[in-house]
Structure formats: structure tokens, C-alpha cells
Amino acid sequence: MIDAGDWVDGNETSGHQSMLAKNNRQLRHGSEAEREAGNLIAAALGRAPHFVAAALPLKVFPPLFNRYSGGEEFGSHVDNAVRQLKGTEFRIRSDLSCTLFLADPDSYEGGELVIEDLYGEQRVKLAAGDMVLYPASSLHHVTPVTRGERVASFFWLQSMVRDHVQREQLYRLDCSVQTLTAERGGEDAVVRDLTNLYHNLLRLWADT
């Protein structure tokens, strides 16, 4: 679907900082291919419980698509704090950045997403169909693609829980509740108490 689309300079949707670092191609923004492929991704996200638990999404920016080959790369940058959909009033605060890998990692060399945090660099190159979520405030870059072609979808979301630490703790608690529920059943007193704690913390921290 996207291969047959119109691919243009990746700076079509760049902010000022990104434009200085970005060297890739992008599926034309607003095109039919972008909309159709983006709708498939949006539907899949709704069926992914780990994504919902980790992101607690409030608003999701419609997915965009890019590709890298022939040494193309994206230098170090931080994503814009606010993203607005061109020609509309839709805007989000970018709490999380999302990269969905669409090419077999063995089909290209380079193209790692490198995310810098307090614990050093995290280098990410996933199987086609796998996605990584990371704080949009992170400094990150994509290494040059020296063989083959790296194809991916990327987008941002505004979470119901703005704070990254709070969101992480809720995710850990949710995972523990799900594990204990499978082991003990939903009527177990510990499971019930932890479930109550999860929802009360979410009520305390969430904006809707």
C-alpha cells in the first residue's frame, strides 16, 4: 500500500531543529496511501493491550511513514513538544514517540534508532511489525542506512498521564495485577486491593 504511494523529502513535516538533522524520504503527508495505512495501524493499536497499558493514550497523532537508504540518516534531535495536524485544529502534546518497524531487520544495515537517556544509549532495531515507545523528550537519532532500505511508521501521542515516572509505575502495577489475576483469580483479596490501588492512582494522575 505505501510502496505505491508518493514519496517526498522527509522535511515536509519537520520542525526547525529536525530540518537541520533530517535526511530521509516520507510518504506524502495527507495522501490516500498515508491515510489508509495509518488507519490500519490505529485499528491494530486498539487491539494491543500492552500498548494501551503502557501509553494510556488520550490522543494519537495520525501515523506518518518514512524510509532510509543510500546512507540516509536522521541526526540527534528532540521531537516538538506540540504537534498540530496541518489544516485542522487537532493538536497534541507529544508525551510519547512511537516507531513501528516495517522492514525485516536483516534486509538493511544500519538504521538503528538510538535513544539517549540517563542510563546511556538504547539502540533499537526491531522485527517488522514490532514497535517501540519512548519519551518524546528523549534525544534520539537514526544511524545511516548503508545497505537495503529501512521503512517505518512514526507518530506521537498524548497520554492521559503526563509524567513518565507515574506512567511507568502504573504500567508495572497493571502488569502485576494481570499476572496475579491469571494465577489467583479476580476474587483474590490481594488482586482486588492492587486493582483498587491502580484505579485510584489513575484517577489521581490522569487527565481526560
Q: Which amino acid is at 133?
A: L
199 is an annotated ligand-binding site residue: no
User: For residue 146, how many other CB atoms are within 10 A of its CB?
Assistant: 15
Length of the chain: 208
Residue (of 47, 59, 27) closest to 154 by Cα position: 27
Q: Is 150 annotated as a binding residue?
A: yes
79 is in an annotated binding site: yes
Alpha carbons 70 and 164: distance in angstroms, whole number? 36
CA angle 107, 110, 112 (to 5 degrees): 105
Distance from C-alpha of 93 to C-alpha of 70, rounded to nearest angstrom = 33
What is the separation of C-alpha 52 from the centre of its chain, rounded to a whole number of angstroms?
Answer: 12
Q: Is 164 annotated as a binding residue?
A: no
Quickly count helices (H) and strands (E) in the chain: 5, 16
Which residue ranges are tagged as binding site?
77, 79, 140, 150
Which residue ranges are tagged as binding site for 2-oxoglutarate?
150
Which residue ranges are tagged as binding site for Fe cation?
77, 79, 140
